Structure formats: C-alpha cells, structure tokens
Amino acid sequence: MNQVCRPAGPAMPQPSDNRSELVRTYKIWQGSNIFALRGRLIFGPDARSLLLSFLMIVPPVGVFCTFVARKLMDDFPHHWGVSIMIFAIALTVCNVIFLLLTSARDPGIVPRKNHPPESEDLGSRRGRTEEVEVNGMRVQVKYCETCMHYRPPRCSHCSICDNCVERFDHHCPWVGQCIGARNYRFYFLFVSSATALCIYVFAFCWVYVVRIMHGEETTIWKALIKTPASIALIIYCFLLMWFVGGLTVFHSYLISRNQTTYENFRALYDHRANPYNKGVLGNFKEVFFSPIPPSKNKFRAKVQKGLDFPSRRVNGSVVNPITGRANMDMEMGMKPSRIEWELDRPMGELGDIKEGSERGSLDGFEKQINDADVMEEPGVEPGVQSR
C-alpha cells in the first residue's frame, strides 16, 4: 500500500521540568549575608572577623593549660589540680559555642516586601510614620524605603547587613552579625562567659606566680621572670577584661531597663516612659527564659529560578528592591525628583503592614509579617557598632 508522506508539523512543546528550575532561597539571596551548610547557617558580610574572635579565645587558653594549669596540677591535690584545667577547657568550649550561636543564626530578619503598598503613592510616603499601641502606649514606627514595609516596633535597618532586624540592638563586628531578637541572649552569654574566662585565667596565673615566689623564697619580680607565659597572659587578660567586662556590665544595665543599645544611644526613653519595661526581674526573664521567636525566613525553601523581580526607578536608575542598590539610594539621604515604581510582575504579596496598623495595635504588624510565604530579603539605616 502506498503511504502518503505528509510534511512534518512543528514539534510539540515538551513539558518543562519545574523541579529543574527550583533552587534554594539562600542561593539567590541578594543581600549581604553569607550562608554555610546549604543555608542552615547565616552569617553577616563581615564573617571573617569570627576567625579573629576565635583566635583571641582558643590559643591563649591553650597557652594557659600548657604552661600554667599543667604546672599547678603538681602543686595542688590531684583532683583539685585536674579540675583547674578541666574548668578552663569547659569555659572555653561554652564561650565558643555562644559565639557560634550568636554569629551563625538569623538575628531576626524581617522579610522585605516585593513591592510598595499600592494604596498610596510613593511620593507621600517618604518619611512616613505610623503609630501602634504597645502595652497601652503609643509607639511610632517608620516606613522602610528599601524593604518597602512599615517596620515593626523596635525594628531597625542595619546598613552593614542590609536587613531590617527585629529588636535591633547593634551590629557587632566581633561576631560579624547583627544582634537582634533571635540572638541577643546568646550574645550576652558570649560576652559574659568571655569575661569569666578572662578573670579565671588572670587569677590562676597570679596563683602560679605566688606559688613560685613562696616555693623559691624569691621576690615577685623574679617569680614573674621565671614564667613569661604568665606575664603575657596577665597583661592580655587584664586588657581584654576591660573590654568584655565593660560590655557585660553595660548590657546587664540595658537588660534591667529593657532597652537596646540602639535605643540607649539615641536616648529614646530619657524623657518618656519605656513601654517595654517590665521591671528588673521581668526584663531578665524576658531575655533569658522567654521562647526565642522562630525565623520569618525560609532560607532552604525551594523557589523558582529566574523570576522577574519588580524594580523601581530613581532618577532614571533602575533599582532592584531585593538588593536595595541604586546610583542614588533614597535612604542614604538622596532626594530624587522623580520616582517611578514598576510592578509588572509581583512575585507574591506580603500584606501591607500599614493595613494591619489601622486598628492601632501591634497585632496587625505581627500577623501580616508572619503570613509571608514567598522569598523575602534584607535592607539601610545606620547600624550601631559595638565598642
């Protein structure tokens, strides 16, 4: 039988494998953060300073255990001598763990929106504030131009990490991370355990010097010469004690008043009542015994690769709202004459926080932030450096 050959038509389109287009959120995160272990750990942009902090803790303790604690083991009864070294090592391990818990977790990043509220024009929003009620007091919240939402109370935008952070305290260069609602507890434990470690090493170095002085019936200066490691550790711990000890005392005061470093430096409650103050015991209970709020970001969630992000124009320069970068940054003080927002394809919507504030309550803010199911990102207000 003769077969009729027909011209081949266009090939049928093959269904695309959506799974091949999905990537982890942390891989396309446009902010300043550094991720490790496939998005399980999140660091600030200056995470290298973490290595410096580690080197300031572990090697000096190694010197102490080798040249001081080991010698004291022979001068004290067996169990007491061993306990000197064991306690030094245990305190060091705790200090390093608190350092990592502070540096390697989400400090409380508030997800940024993909587009500004459509109910208002942007020109009238510059410098806009809203008021919400916290514990019976009216609290003012500001609109974040980079993250395109009204910041929750006590939230501020760190210019180093490029994030809005809940209960923003400061950006600490020694841990390379913002200090906020989710890591402040561990930050305080880090500086306080570092203070305890300095005092411990400092004290037992002097104990060793005194043992030499009495054992050889010599002067304190000759005893010091016989143990140069003790001299170095005494000087080092004395200097470091002023720094970490000062931070411990300062933050103990802040906790007792339920203030953040950011609020204290700006003297926000010098002339008005602090709506967050629950009394000394209540404030310490809130910091150390209240549940740590869950992260509002799903860094390991899979999102579709290649989504078009909305953009904004500032004097003709296109700005990606995820990066918050432009030739002229509005939050750095520039005043563009014309601002156009392009919202051709919004990725998903996180309800305008302002809408939740119309009732004048904090609940509207928290509810709409928690409803965010899409990838949201970081943001640019001066961060307070730790001293």
Encode the chain in three state secondary structure: CCCCCCCCCCCCCCCCCHHHHEEEHHHHCCCCCEEECCCCEEECCCCCHHHHHHHHHHHHHHHHHHHHHHHHHHHCCHHHHHHHHHHHHHHHHHHHHHHHHHHCCCCCECCCCCCCCCCCCHHHCCCCEEEEEECCEEEEEEEECCCCEECCCCCEEECCCCEEECCCCEEECCCCEEECCCCHHHHHHHHHHHHHHHHHHHHHHHHHHHHHHHHCCCCHHHHHHCCHHHHHHHHHHHHHHHHHHHHHHHHHHHHHHCCCHHHHHCCCCCCCCCCCCCCHHHHHHHHHHCCCCCCCCCCCCEEECCCCCCEEEECCEEEECCCCECCCCHHHCCCCCCEEEECCCCCCCCCCHHHHHCCCECHHHHHHHHCCCCCCCCCCECCCECC
Angle at 315 between CA 311 and CA 316, to 5 degrees: 60
**The two structure tokens encoding residue 90:** 């245990």
Q: What is the pLDDT of residue 73?
A: 87
Q: What is the pLDDT of residue 351?
A: 38
Reference 107, options 49, 159, 35, 168; nearest CA is 168
Q: What is d(CA 30, CA 163) in angstroms, rounded to the nearest whole number?
A: 11
Q: What is the pLDDT of residue 124?
A: 54
The model scores a pTM over 0.85: no
Q: Point out the residues of the chain with pLDDT beneath 70.
A: 1-20, 30-31, 117-127, 306-387
Q: What is the pLDDT of residue 306?
A: 61
Q: What is the pLDDT of residue 302?
A: 83
**The two structure tokens encoding residue 386:** 């730790």
Q: What is the pLDDT of residue 324?
A: 42
Q: What is the pLDDT of residue 127?
A: 57
Any catalytic annotation for residue 5?
no
Q: What is the pLDDT of residue 145?
A: 86
**The two structure tokens encoding residue 228:** 């140069």
Chain centroid to CA 35: 13
Q: What is the pLDDT of residue 28?
A: 73
* 48 residue type, one letter: R
Q: What is the pLDDT of residue 314?
A: 39
Q: What is d(CA 230, CA 234) in angstroms, rounded to the nearest whole number?
A: 6
Q: What is the pLDDT of residue 353?
A: 39
Q: Which of 164, 172, 198, 237 is catalytic?
A: 172
List phi, psi (to 5°) of 319.
-125, 130
Q: What is the pLDDT of residue 25?
A: 78
Enumerate the domain spans of the chain: 22-370
